[in-house]
Amino acid sequence: MKKGLVLVLLAALCLGGCQRGGGEAGGGGGRQRIALVMKTANNPFFIEMQKGAEEAAKRLNVELVVQAAEREVDVEKQMQIVENLIQTHVSALCVTPSGSREIVPAIDKANKANIPVVIVDTRVDAKALSESGGKVATFIGSDNYEGGKIAGEFLAKKLGGKGKVAVLEGIPGHETGDSRLRGFREALKATPGVEIVASQTANWERDQGFNVFQNILQSHPDVQAVFACSDLMALGAVEAIAAAKKTGQIAVVGFDATSEARDAIQKGTMDASVAQSPAQMGALAVENAVKLLKGEQVNPEFVVPIKLITKENAAEGSK
């Protein structure tokens, strides 16, 4: 009797455990589980990306797991998140890499686990990926180099072809910020009268944008314009300009065209921002992940449109 009771109990425990495991992996009736790992959930750009992904997941009836590190600079935390998701056997993995090179080992692990990888917004370092033999199914993002050129051309025209400019860079070695910076510098080659007097990282963060640009204003009080590789840094610069009582005297151009940046453009505290399409990126990521899980072919990359936002079109709505 005792032996029989033990066997019954063990069978019940096994059944309960199997049901919990199945619910986690399949999510809601065996639906495929797609993970979206962003750089951070605190940036309006990535909030929009998440919304687009969630809408696509609902439409396509798949479970979407969204995770992110608290700060964009926390590459190690993002790596931990990705590796944990691989261990739980997600069906597909969509990632906006915090580190273009650092993400490569995680891609290798996903490949070995037969989990398709979709890269969003920031490209993986091509050399590192080639050396590891890793593969990504597709890249979805905007042309950051071209966006930087558009920003540079706008500022050069705004300054009448002559003036002193400061730059707030993203994370050093980060493909997204590096491409925007290269495009910006390339655009200014056509107008040698526009001089970059300072170019420093503010690590994509608003408070650092404030502190770094405040220091730049002290070192270069005659600076006439600033290009920030993201709107958060641009808005930090706007606050530093206000603290120095120079609002309206220094042109400010950002990147992302977030709702707060659009408001600042309409108020005149910012002059322009390069709009991307984060919601579309998120939707495309989920849509292509689903195609991959069905065994369908997808394009090696999808380039979403960019657009310069100024006072003339800032009220047209968000991305």
In CATH, the number for domain 144-275 is: 3.40.50.2300
Residue intervals in the chain for CATH 3.40.50.2300: 29-141+278-304, 144-275
Q: What is the pLDDT of residues 11-31, one digit of tens each?
A: 333 333 332 233 333 344 468
Q: Give the orientation angle of helix 144-158 with respect to helix 175-188, to 10 degrees.
A: 40
Instruction: List the single range of 9-18, 119-128, 169-178, 226-235 with lowest mean pLDDT.
Output: 9-18
Task: Strands of the chain (E only): list them.
Answer: 33-38, 63-68, 92-95, 117-120, 138-141, 163-169, 194-201, 225-228, 251-256, 272-275, 301-303, 307-309
Q: Which pLDDT score, from 0 to 100, does residue 317 have?
A: 59
Mean pLDDT of 41-70: 96
User: Cβ distance 265 to 237 under 8 Å?
Assistant: no
Q: What is the pLDDT of residues 138-166, one digit of tens each?
A: 999 999 999 999 999 999 999 999 999 99
262 vs 235: CA distance, rounded Å = 11
pLDDT, greater one: 26 or 310: 310
Reading the block at residue 253, the tokens are 């151009």
Q: What is the pLDDT of residues 73-98, one digit of tens each?
A: 889 999 999 999 999 999 999 999 99
* Domain with residues 29-141+278-304, CATH architecture: 3-Layer(aba) Sandwich (3.40)
- Average pLDDT in the chain: 90
